[in-house]
Amino acid sequence: MPHQFRGGRRGRHATNYASVNFIQAVLAGSTQRWGHTSRRDHIAVRTITVIEFLSLDGVMQGLGSPDEDRDGGFEHGGWGAHYAEGVQETMAASGGPNDTTAYLFGRRTYESLAAFWPTQPDENPMAAHLNATAKHVVTGTLKTLAWANAQVLDGELEPAVQRLKATGHGTIAVLGSGMLVKELITLGLVDELRLFIHPLLLGTGKRLFGEIPYPQRFDLAEHTATRQGSLVLRYVRET
């Protein structure tokens, strides 16, 4: 019998306690320390930062709740709840302002977040930031988006993302969005990987990394561990 992890609210698009804690931790800790390096001071384009929560064997599926993503018969949904508090504590301790100026989502991640955050009050600084910040969604099915400041990213992915990077300043953050991230990595468009790796082997489930056409080197820029043994790692593309 598969082990049942306890998550929050049920439903594919329910953003539950664990997911909320993880997102708040990332936004509170997406600081100039974690999301900004001196290298950027000499670059006139925005950078793409991928933020992912993984098991030791690279699984990203079903982090937050039992029914978040049951594709392929996945039965371990909600596995991240046990580690959320430790991540939140560690990231809050890093301090500093958030340099994320835009978000890039795949459709499923967008729909999950849009089911929760627009209804949260602006007194919650994380909700205020998510609701006020530009959100670009890669989708072939959605034509209009109800979440404020969200828009469909038009055109072919590579030139569209290059246009985003060439406009404005700061970081374009990608949360979740596994299929999109694989495409961005394949195209060589990811500048930074921010990985939260939890001490758990799941054995099954969707994994973040797959085959890529050529090797890509990244430098370890920051690392720390939570009291629960999760690793918080920041890699930047080798220059």
Quote the pLDDT of residue 22. 62
DSSP E strand boundaries for 57-152: 100-106, 134-138, 150-152
pLDDT at 139: 96
| Alpha carbon distance 164, 102 (integer Å) | 9
pLDDT in tens, the chain (239 residues): 444 444 433 444 444 444 555 665 665 555 444 444 434 444 468 999 999 999 999 999 988 888 888 888 889 988 998 998 888 888 877 755 578 999 999 999 999 899 999 999 989 888 899 999 999 999 999 999 999 999 999 999 999 999 999 998 999 999 999 999 999 999 999 999 999 999 999 999 999 998 889 999 999 999 999 999 999 999 999 98
Nearest alpha carbon to residue 43 among 170, 206, 129: 170
Residue 103: exposed, middle, or buried by beta-carbon count in 10 A (0-12, 13-18, 19+)? buried
Going from N- to C-terminal start, the domains of the chain cover 17-237
The structure's pTM equals: 0.83
Which CATH number does the domain 17-237 belong to among 3.40.50.620, 3.40.430.10, 3.20.20.70, 3.40.1440.10? 3.40.430.10
Query: Directed axis angle between helix 178-186 and helix 157-165, to 10°?
Result: 80
CB atoms within 10 A of CB 172: 24
Token pair for 22: 């993880």
Single out the residue of 135, 104, 101, 99 nearest to residue 118, CA to CA. 135
| Residues linked to residue 136 through DSSP beta bridges, in sequence order | 104, 151
